[in-house]
Amino acid sequence: MSITELRPTGRTRAASKPAGKEAAEAEALRAKTATAKAAADIANQLKAAKAAAEIAAGEAQAQEVREAAADKRREAERQRTEAAAARQKAERSAAQWRTYAKTIAVICVVVSLPLQMMAFWSPKAWFLLAAPLVLEGLAWALLKGAEAAIDDHRPSWHYRALAGAVALFAATVNFLHGSSAFGLGTGLGGAFCSLAGPLVWDLHEHGRIRKRDGKVSRRRRRAEARQVAAEAAEQLAAEQKAADDREAVEISRSVQWPQAWERAVALAAAVGELHPSETTWKRAWDDTAGAPLGDTAESIAARVAAKAATKEAAKDQTNPVEKVEKPQVESQVTAPRGTSANKRPDGRRNNGGTPPRQKAGSYPKYSPIARRAMSLAAKKQQPARTAS
């Protein structure tokens, strides 16, 4: 048996591909791979650019948050610094005021006490020299009692009143004795010094009382009263505007829908409302119209009719708004000779879009070059069918 006889029948060995075709396929594969790689690189670049934009936006937002937090911290620090400075200034002013009040009180005692001692001096009653010391000491003792009462959050008005009465008695003594012995000026000066010392110190204690009780100044009270009056006026104007708007809405509803409004008024009276609320109005509308708020039987019927008319107009074949396109078959198939383009039949307008059936002579013939190419292709395929 020969090698030819051993060859299996019915099978043909696939012919090896030409080298040029393999090179072309390899080149096409490399081009496809390069294109895919370029597309992947572009996609990665786009993703990276998008991520970079998102990162930049996040960093910008974080920077804004940090700047806002820093501004807030700086503002809080500034407020704390200003508050500390104001507190230190207030403490320094209070200390200076206390020092000045004590100094004035001592000077007043230096002026008024000798006049009182001269007024009470008598060789026969030398012991009366202690009376001025008793008067001045009693006044200052009472003022010290008022200070203790203020620190202990107790009433201090009676201490201050008694101290004022003692100072007034000492001033009277100085005025009478100074005017008769040294003249009117000396009497007035001694009386003033007798009153000025305790009065200045009492003013100091009065300020401490107001600070302890949290009292504000008269100017601040007037400003707060004006602010309260302005807010009350604004609230009254807003309430008046709301009442006017409600009245306008009620009048409009009563005129446009009298039946629904009568029902709303009845429901409001039943539930104890002075004016029908929105909930009551919705219920009254549902009771009278049986439809969502704002809809009636007439409006619903008109809407349904308008939708039906629009649908019929869209189905109308003669509607000039409908776009008429040239069929694809007419653009690709050559019409028979002697038939103009305007008279070309198109049966798809009435048969649901089915293309017309092709008949002999209804389509153009292939060119000689095309027929020659199809003949060569058929000849190449015929041996393969025979071998198989």
pLDDT of residue 236: 92
**Is-contact 105 195, C-beta < 8 A?**
no
The number of beta carbons lying within 10 Å of the beta carbon of residue 312 is 10
pLDDT of residue 318: 53
- What does DSSP assign to residue 354? P
Sequence-distant (≥ 6) Cβ neighbours of residue 83 within 8 angstroms: none
pLDDT of residue 38: 84
Q: What is the pLDDT along the chain (388 residues), one digit of tens a residue?
A: 444 444 444 444 444 456 677 777 787 888 888 888 888 888 888 888 888 888 888 888 888 888 888 888 888 888 888 888 888 887 888 788 888 888 888 888 888 888 888 888 878 888 887 888 888 888 888 888 887 887 788 887 888 888 888 888 888 888 888 888 888 888 888 888 888 888 888 887 777 777 777 666 677 788 888 899 999 999 999 999 998 998 898 888 888 888 889 888 888 888 888 888 889 888 888 888 888 888 888 888 888 888 888 888 877 655 444 444 444 444 444 555 555 544 555 555 565 556 666 666 666 666 777 777 777 887 777 765 555 5
Sequence-distant (≥ 6) Cβ neighbours of residue 297 within 8 angstroms: 289, 290, 291
pLDDT of residue 6: 44
Q: How far is CA 315 from the centre of its chain?
A: 50
pLDDT of residue 96: 84
DSSP labels, 189-252: HHHHHHHHHHHHHHHHHHHHHHHHHT---HHHHHHHHHHHHHHHHHHHHHHHHHHHHHHHHHHH
- What does DSSP assign to residue 123? T
- Pick the closest to residue 205 from 89, 358, 102, 351 (CA basis): 102
pLDDT of residue 323: 45
Sequence-distant (≥ 6) Cβ neighbours of residue 140 within 8 angstroms: 105, 163, 198
- Burial of 365 (C-beta count, 10 Å sphere; 0-12/13-18/19+): exposed
- What distance in Å separates the CA atoms of residue 267 and residue 313, rounded to the nearest whole number? 46
pLDDT of residue 210: 75
b/e string for 9-43 if b means 16 or more Cβ within 10 A?
Answer: eeeeeeeeeeeeeeeeeeeeeeeeeeeeeeeeeee
- What distance in Å separates the CA atoms of residue 354 and residue 358, rounded to the nearest whole number? 12
Helix, strand, coil share (%) of the chain residues, nearest 5: 75, 0, 25
The structure's pTM equals 0.38
pLDDT of residue 214: 67
Q: How many residues are there in the chain? A: 388
pLDDT of residue 161: 85
**Ramachandran category for residue 290: left, alpha or beta (phi over 0 → left; psi -120 to 50 → alpha):** left
In which residue are the tokens 């103009």 written?
340
In which residue are the tokens 């030398």 written?
126
